[in-house]
Amino acid sequence: MSAAPRIGVFGGTFDPPHVAHIALATAALERLALDRVLFVVSGSPWQKSGVSPAPQRLRMMELALAQAPAALRGHAEVERCELDRAGPSYTADTLALLRRRYGPDAVLMLLIGSDQFRNLPSWHRYDELPALAHIAVADRAGMPAPNLPPRALPEGPAGGTVSFEMPSIDLSATGLRAALAAGDRPSVAAMIAPAVLDYIDEHQLYRSQEFR
């Protein structure tokens, strides 16, 4: 009998994807002994406004992953289920779908930065999340997670909460959009995959101040 798959579920607006997203997924893959990470592009991020169209964010995530280090690339994929569903994107719906897809024994780990962990009680039907997945919190630079249990991995397919270490990267998509809108390309060049930067240029994204 083969072991249950261990799947990291990493959702984000990814507007645009940047090196911290790649670093978080890479750290999770290693530290949580995952078989793979799904980058779930948020179809309709109801708590944000003025975001780029979902198909553009999906394409940027695909381009970012294609240029990610091989250690991650070989164990990761971009998940589009939230683009194929109408209405606001609720993680509870996404996890329910993935639970149906991968079965009751699959170990699902919802990967989130510590800022989103603090925001979790505002999520739609957040009380349903522990029945669907473990929650694994990466320490985000400047926004440490509240005290969480020891770093030992929780048992079973869902229900635990754990933190994991990732390199501290003080960076946000908001800051990158602002830098791009200001024409400060050199400061973003090391933070965004070259193919994503090309896509941003080609589609003239983040040119106006409204994206700050």
Ligand X SMILES: O=C(O)c1ccc[n+]([C@@H]2O[C@H](COP(=O)([O-])O)[C@@H](O)[C@H]2O)c1
- 25 lies in the site for ligand ATP, by CB under 6 A: no
- 174 lies in the site for ligand X, by CB under 6 A: no
Region for residue 84 given its phi and psi (left: phi exceeds 0; alpha: psi -120 to 50; beta: otherwise): alpha
- As measured in angstroms, the least distance from the Cβ of 205 to ligand X is 17
Name the nearest CA neighbour of 114 among 85, 147, 157: 147
Q: Residue from 123, 154, 172, 195 that binds ligand X (CB under 6 A)?
A: 123
Instruction: Find which of ligand X, ligand ATP, none residue 40 binds, CB within 5 to 8 Å per kind.
Output: ligand X
Instruction: Find which of ligand X, ligand ATP, none residue 162 binds, CB within 5 to 8 Å per kind.
Output: none
By beta carbon distance, the residue nearest ligand ATP is 113
Q: Are 17 and 118 in contact (CB under 8 A)?
A: no
- One character per residue 49-78, x = contact with ligand X (rule: CB under 6 A): ------------------------------
Unique residue bearing structure tokens 């990158």: 176
Interacting residues with ligand ATP between 149 and 178 (CB under 6 A): 169, 171-174
- One character per residue 12-41, x = contact with ligand X (rule: CB under 6 A): xx--------------------------x-
Q: Are 136 and 28 in contact (CB under 8 A)?
A: yes
What's the angle, vertex CA 115, arms to CA 148 and CA 185, rounded to 5? 140
Q: With the C-alpha atoms ordered 69, 38, 158, 171, is the resulting torsion angle positive or negative? A: positive
Q: Residue from 101, 124, 151, 185 that binds ligand X (CB under 6 A)?
A: 124
Structure tokens at 23: 């670093």
- 134 lies in the site for ligand ATP, by CB under 6 A: no
- Listed in sequence order, the residues at least 6 apart from 202 whose beta carbon sits closer than 8 Å to its beta carbon are none
